[in-house]
Structure 1
Amino acid sequence: MASRFYVPLAALLLLALPSCFSNNRHQGQRLYAQHCASCHGDKGQGLARLIPPLAGSDYLADHRAELPCLLRHGQNEVIVVNGVGYHNIMPGNPSLSPAQLTNLLNYVESHWGNEAAPRTIRDVQAQLDKCP
C-alpha cells in the first residue's frame, strides 16, 4: 500500500528537479539581446559605419584572446572590422561574470557566419586575468 505513494512522489520530485538547476543553455542569446543588440543589431549586423558588425566579423577571429577584456572594460580606440575603421566608444560591462561572458562570447562566436571553437569559463577567466 505504501508503494502506491512512492510512485506519485517520485514523479513529483522529477518534475520539480529542473527548477533546482539554472538553465544557461540560452543565456548567451539573452545576454546578447540585453546588452549588445541595441547597438550591434538583432543579427549582429552593426550600424553602417558607426557600429561594427559582429556577423561574419574578422575582428572576432583576429582578436579572440582580447574579447573578454573588451567586453568587461570596453574600448575607445579605432578598430578595423572587415576592412572598415570604426571610431566609436564601446562601453564595458564589469558586472558580467566570467560564466556570463563565456556564454555571451560562445553565442556571438557561433552565430551569423562566425565559427569559433567554444570557450570555457576557465579560458575566459585566464584571459580576464591578463587584462591591462
Structure 2
Amino acid sequence: MSTLLLPLLRLSAGGVAALLLATASTGCFSNRQNEGASLYQAHCSSCHGTQGEGLRRLIPPVAASDYVARNRAGLPCIVRRGMHGDVVVNGIHYNQVMPGHEDLTDSQITNLLNFVQRNWGNNNEPYTVREVSELLAPCHGSDGQ
C-alpha cells in the first residue's frame, strides 16, 4: 500500500467529506475569482477606460466616482438596461447614451459591480447576488441567475 494513501485511510468519513468539499470549493471559487475584472474589461473599459477614468467630458469615470457611491440601488439596472440623459459625476455633467448589457446574468452583474465598488479609489460595500436580483426588479431585469 502506498505511503501516500495511509494518511487518507486514517481520516474519518467526515474528514474525507470535508477534504473533498474544500477541494471542490477551491476550484469553484478560483474559476470566478477575477470574473468582475474580466467582465469590466470586456463590457465597460472601451468607454469608461481601463482604469475607470472615463473619457474627458464625454464618458463619466467610475473610478473615485461619487455617482457610484451615491447610486448603489440604481447601478444594477443601469448595467442591465443602460441609460441616457444628463448625469452628474464628480460635479461634471455628462449626456451620452450608455448601452445596456442584457447578456449578463445577475451573478455576472454582481461580480462586475463589486469589481468597480472595490477598485480605483472606490471603497463601497460589495453586493450580494440576491441584492442585485432584488435591485433589478424595478427595471424587470433579473434573470434569477
Bin of the TM-score, shorter chain as denominator length: 0.7 to 0.9
Are residue 112 (structure 1) and residue 120 (structure 2) matched? yes
The CA deviation at 1:4 is 2.2
- Matched with 2:132 is 124
- What is the aligned-residue RMSD (CA, Å)? 2.3
Matched, 1:76 2:74: no
Report the equivalent of 1:4: 2
Query: Structure 1 residues 5, 21: CA separation in 2 closer, same or farther (over 3 Å shift)?
Result: farther
AA in 1 matched with 2:70: D
Percent sequence identity over matched residues?
45
Q: 3-state DSSP class of the match of 1:21?
A: helix
Structure 1 residue 31 and structure 2 residue 17: aligned?
Answer: no
- TM-score, reference length from structure 2: 0.78
Structure 1: runs of 5+ lacking an equivalent: none
For the pair 1:49 / 2:57, whether they are aligned, the reply is yes
Partner of 2:136, secondary structure, is helix
> Partner letter of residue 117 of structure 1?
E
For residue 30 of structure 1, give the secondary structure of its aligned residue in structure 2: helix
Moved more, 117-126 or 21-30: 21-30
Which one scores higher on RCO, CA 8 angstroms, separation ≥ 6? 1
Partners of 1:112 and 1:18 in 2: how far apart? 29
How far off its partner does 1:81 sit? 0.3
Q: 3-state SS of the aligned residue for 1:64?
A: coil
The alignment partner of 2:41 has SS state of helix
Q: Which amino acid aligns with 1:92?
A: G
In 2, Cα distance between equivalents of 1:64 and 1:83: 18
Question: Aligned letter for 2:45?
Answer: A
